[in-house]
Chains A and B, each alone.
Chain A
């Protein structure tokens, strides 16, 4: 059941909360930074859409600043080293795909997986966030829906020729997401965010995106749960 921060009586100033927040906040900041860089890379790969992608990248940069402010508001220093390590595999896979000119894989990683994960995490976080962070996150999540939509639209228009690569990229990258989630399960719990709720919201968002692109329910059930229990 959803519960609000006030009902749960979360102590945002406790050492336990702030310690967990130092990693979660860092992940969010790093995630927005990577998104900023990834959209610039995508702009180079899709020159006809460069202006649009630059606009998206600037939004991500603003989000990053917003989340940095959330950390400062709680007097928390984000553990950026942890966050870089956290994103390392996904980051590497994006870089490799970009170097090979694999636009579909890059879009799946950034516009579907990362955006869906961000939307799921932000939606789960909003009811249990401190007042300052809640306002920032509510603004951010609205933008993230538009970023997800960018990937959906492009992949839908290019669905027949992208399908096989999407499935391969899903097999390669989704298990990494589940591993990433396991890494922060305890910290997320300290922020009153439950892993099973995060997984469910991610699968809902990711499933909707796959459906909008053109996958069938059967494909979606197979793809969105891929590697979950093995992680």
Chain B
């Protein structure tokens, strides 16, 4: 077990809160559909970087907060986030050493899993998500390299 420092933990929560803010920034409608799921991307980053600390439990709690933030059914994002973070932690040793492009593909896959879970729950609840909302999966993958490099910079800075 690696002991994670207090600073990293603070960084974890700060970036998550920042991502939550980004999630609810009001864009115009076409951009809205393109906006990636910032919170989940940040969570995946932390799950790959410090899997011992950024566990499934924390991801579940963050998901619950996002549910309240966006006024959706309690537990739907929590479920999706917990499942996708579980997958990322399972695979983190393999993924960490891949080149960035392959990581992007993997992230796309995880975002897709999360989106499918949300889609199912919404469907059972009687909501039908428009086809356009699947685009966030792609944009998430495209944005991943930026997030990765940016977060690395921040982490080096914080040490």
Partners in one complex: no
A residues near B, CB below 8 A?
A: none
B residues near A, CB below 8 A?
A: none
